[in-house]
Amino acid sequence: MFSKRTAWERKINNLAALRGEFGRSGRTLMDLTCSNPAQVGFTHGPEVYASLITPNAACYDPGPLGLPEARAAVAAYYAGRGIRIAPDHIWIGAGTSELYAQILWLLCDPGDTVLVPQPGYPLFSYLAELCGVRLETYNLVYDDQWRIDFDTVEQNREAARKIRALIAVSPGNPTGHCLKYDDIKRMERVCVENGWALIVDEVFSDFVLRRDPEHAGNTAGEPPMLSFLLSGLSKAAALPQIKLSWAVISGPNAMRHEALARAELISDTFLNASTVAQQALPALLKAAPAMQDRIRERCMDNAQFARHATRDTSATVLDVEGGWTLLLKLPATQDDQEWAERFLKQEGVLVQPGYFFDMQAVTPAPHIAVSLITPSDIFRAGLLNILKAV
Ligand SMILES: Cc1ncc(COP(=O)(O)O)c(C=O)c1O
């Protein structure tokens, strides 16, 4: 009756089961995993939500790649960061995850492959499966800083699968590393040589926590291959509930035209991006910088506290250049799952074990991930509790 691709293992993991038990016990949970800005105090003033009732809310005149005012608002957002993008090259969607799926349809036939970073964002495997696409990985390796292991990109190339695209996430989730100019040049070269597209997920690009002159900053421009830069309101304006995202399509003219024409048909099939959200986009993006400042400040404050608190302990904070996640390396006396379960049972602190992000594929050491947008009092208390147990 059902498709093979949706025959997922849905058993709830041990940590989720323990969390359920914990909830029933009446003890207070220190949740260091929340990445939903609306649940950790990052809400806008009422005028921002009021802007969702637009004067044109009664109109419906959709454009498959987005309403002109929405595409212009995204172009203006990039212009404010010194990047010139033609509104016509912007594709508006209802969430970055959905745009990923539509881009995979655009680029891949069933059975084709895309390359994703590991450790990485767990959603990729579901997205790929739903789209009938295979995932292969390349490694991010850590030695005081994260870097891309380009040898592992090359190994995929040598395996000669039908690779269609290389996906990069900058700042990375959960690694928090930012692409450097040199990374971009190398990725462009490998994409051009192999006829791959480049997809760069920049949803966290407004949350660079440590500036480095080598940071590429933003990958929009005139790349020598087809490229998709992804971002959206869920992170840029801390408004995941609005479900509005965008892809900037760049590359050689003919390829870009073809990609836009095909994207238009894909989008026209669904017309998922809400008209009301698109009409409100100029006002919502106007409110974004102030929100980004608040979030960056909390992330930097929490990261600084973690670095300070872990000094002279057996836990190590990994370098974080940007994003909302901090990784901690723990002693190898037990694995990451056991650490996470112990923190919850003994200390009432919820963290994500590194295996959620396939950390074990690149390092045998146990790691946990904590959310830097956690309210600072909870972050501090939770971290100190964890350090007591380490
Ligand atoms: C790296 C990355 N990309 C994309 C998304 C999804 O964004 P959206 O809410 O726009 O679908 C997330 C969500 O956490 C993410 O971490």
Taken in order of first residue, the domains within the chain and their CATH numbers are: 8-43+289-389 (3.90.1150.10), 61-287 (3.40.640.10)
Closest residue by CA, ligand 1 atom 7: 96
Q: What percent of the chain has pLDDT over 70?
A: 99
User: Of 371, 375, 206, which Cα lies nearest the Cα of 285?
Assistant: 206
Looking at residue 135, its pLDDT comes to 95
Q: What is the mean pLDDT of residues 15-38?
A: 95
Q: Which residues, 6 or more positions from 13, have their beta carbon under 8 angstroms from its beta carbon?
A: none
Confidence of residue 157 (pLDDT cuts 50, 70, 90): confident
Q: In whole angstroms, what is the distance from residue 50 CA to residue 27 CA? A: 37
* 218 has a pLDDT exceeding 70: no
- 113-118 and 134-142 as β-strands: parallel, antiparallel, unpaired? parallel
The pLDDT of 32-48, averaged and rounded, is 97
Cα–ligand 1 centroid distance for 73 (angstroms)? 20
**Residue 187 to residues 94, 120, 160, 219: CA-CA distances in angstroms?**
28, 17, 17, 11
For CA atoms 80, 82, 88, 91, the dihedral sign is negative
Give the containing element (helix H, strand E) for 163.
Answer: strand 163-169
pLDDT, tens digit, 9 for 90 and up, residues 52-88? 998 888 999 999 999 999 999 999 999 998 899 999 9
Average pLDDT over residues 19-45: 96
Q: State which of 123, 244, 295 you would mutate to test the pocket of ligand 1, scoring each by most atoms of that ligand within 8 A of its C-beta.
A: 123
CB 146 within 8 A of CB 319: yes
312 alpha carbon – ligand 1 mean position (Å): 35
Kindly tell me if the per-residue pLDDT of 328 is higher than 80.
Answer: yes
Quick one: pLDDT at residue 211? 85
Confidence label for 123 from pLDDT (cuts 50, 70 and 90): very high
Lowest mean pLDDT among 209-223, 277-291, 363-377: 209-223
Which of 97, 125, 356 to probe ligand 1 with, by most ligand atoms within 8 A of CB? 97
Q: Distances in Å between the alpha carbon of 162 and those of 157, 194, 223, 263, 390?
A: 9, 10, 22, 21, 45
Q: What is the mean pLDDT of residues 228-241?
A: 98
pLDDT in tens, 252-279: 999 999 999 999 999 999 999 999 999 9
Dihedral angle sign, alpha carbons of residues 245, 251, 253, 254: negative
Rounded Cα distance, 95 and 231, in Å: 9
What pLDDT, on the 0 to 100 scale, is given for residue 217? 66
Backbone angles phi, psi at 228, to 5 degrees: -125, 120
d(CA 115, CA 347): 38
Encoded tokens for 255: 């390829």
State the Cα–Cα distance between residues 145 and 237, nearest whole angstrom: 28
Mean of pLDDT over the chain: 95
- How far lies 379's CA from each of 252, 346, 385, in Å? 46, 17, 10
**What pLDDT is attached to residue 160?**
63
219 pLDDT band, cuts 50/70/90, is low
Three-class SS state of 102:
helix
User: Is 357 near ligand 1, meaning CB less than 6 Å away?
Assistant: no
> What is the Rg, in whole angstroms, of the alpha carbon atoms belonging to the chain?
21
Across 20-29, 217-226, 234-243, 265-274, least confident range: 217-226
| Per-residue pLDDT at 220 exceeds 70 | no
Q: What's the whole-number mean pLDDT along residues 38-53?
A: 96
Percent of the chain with pLDDT over 90: 91
Q: If DSSP states are collapsed to H, E and C, what string results for 280-315?
A: HHHHHHHCHHHHHHHHHHHHHHHHHHHHHHHCCCCC
173 lines ligand 1 (CB under 6 A): yes
Tell how far the Cα of 96 is from the centroid of ligand 1, in angstroms: 6
Q: 26 C-alpha to center of ligand 1: Å?
A: 32
The residues, ordered by sequence, that sit 6+ positions from 172 with a Cβ below 8 Å of its Cβ are: 117, 120, 140, 146, 178, 323
